[in-house]
Amino acid sequence: MPAPRELDPKAGRNAAFGVELRRLRLEAGLTQEELGNRIGYSTSQVGSVEVGKRAPTEPFIAGCETVFGPGLREVWADLSKHKDRAPKWFRPWLDEEAEAVSLKTWQPLVVPGLLQTEAYARVLLRCEPGFGHEQVEALVAARLDRQEILNRTNPPMYLVILDEGALSRPIGGSEIMREQLTHLVKAAEAPHITIQITPLGANSGLNGAIAIAQASDRQRHTVYLETVGQPVVSSNSDLIAMVTMKLDALRAESLPQGASLELIRKMVEKWTSRLN
């Protein structure tokens, strides 16, 4: 019999839950098939949750708690706490983002959320009408929690295409911008993060931010489109094809990473000089 697949709780929210599920199952002396029979799921479904390939549904968790006792709901809730603080329309994207093996994004106006500093994020969220202090702080915390996917054991490949104008837009003032741009340079030292700057001028992405997440099966893609109203989260194949083509065009117009980081460093110097 082959050895069971090694699980890494730092590989993502699903994987962390799977580690706990396997621990409970083994302590109870059950096989995946036996657990599946007790809760009404197939062996493959139990196995997929256990190795982090799929998220547990509420009925699945409820069934497991009839076998192991209470506790798994709290485990999943704790792992999903950043999602619960997010707007409902954004939660489907958080699921895709958290489990993606590849993320690509174009940002024409601001640094993307996964690379924002706490101070930069706070300034942006305070601009949203109707957000009180407590809501802003909860959303800042949720945004910082999201960033953990870039620090996990097997992080997604992350491509950021950023318009040059975002480097000079004064979000919060000189100190916050200096800190934010310094953070970008530091982030790009990681082998899984690529940052490219698109020079000022007309381009095909000025009408809004976009992002694409590639799932772990490398077949499913999900797109996120920023709009004035409620952003769009979709897996429509025609939309995926259009957005992919647009991202490819924007990347072709952008500076290579080395030149992009040199430009960011020069902007760090400019923001620093304004502090003196």
pTM equals 0.73
My answer on whether 133 and 245 are in the same domain is yes
The Cα-based distances of 144 to 64, 97, 165, 218, 265 in angstroms read 31, 14, 24, 26, 24
Per-residue pLDDT tens over the stretch 61-113: 999 999 999 889 888 877 766 555 566 667 778 888 888 899 999 999 999 99
* The predicted structure's pLDDT at residue 1: 41
Confidence (pLDDT) at 151: 87
pLDDT tens per residue, range 117-171: 999 999 999 998 878 888 888 888 888 888 988 988 788 999 999 999 999 999 9
The answer to whether 260 touches 197, Cβ cutoff 8 Å, is: yes
Domain span at residue 222 reads 88-273
Which CA distances in Å does 22 have to 10, 29, 152, 238? 15, 10, 20, 39
**Helix or strand run (H / E) with residue 225:** strand 221-225
Give the CATH number for residue 57: 1.10.260.40
Q: Over the stretch 170-201, which tens digit does the pLDDT of each residue have?
A: 999 999 999 999 999 999 999 999 999 999 99
70 and 93 inside one domain: no
Average pLDDT of the residues in 15-35: 90
Q: What is the pLDDT of residue 85?
A: 59
- The pLDDT, as a whole number, for residue 7 is 62
How far apart (Å, rounded) are the C-alpha atoms in residues 210 and 24? 40
Give the per-residue pLDDT at 258. 96
Q: How far is CA 259 from CA 163, 170, 206, 245, 276, in A?
A: 14, 22, 22, 23, 27
Number of independent structural domains in the chain: 2
Same domain, 204 and 114: yes
Number of Cβ atoms within 10 Å of the Cβ of 14: 23
Residues 49 and 159 in one domain: no
The verdict on residue 212 lying in a domain is yes
Judge whether 2 lies within some domain. Answer: no
Whether residue 3 is contained in a domain is answered as no
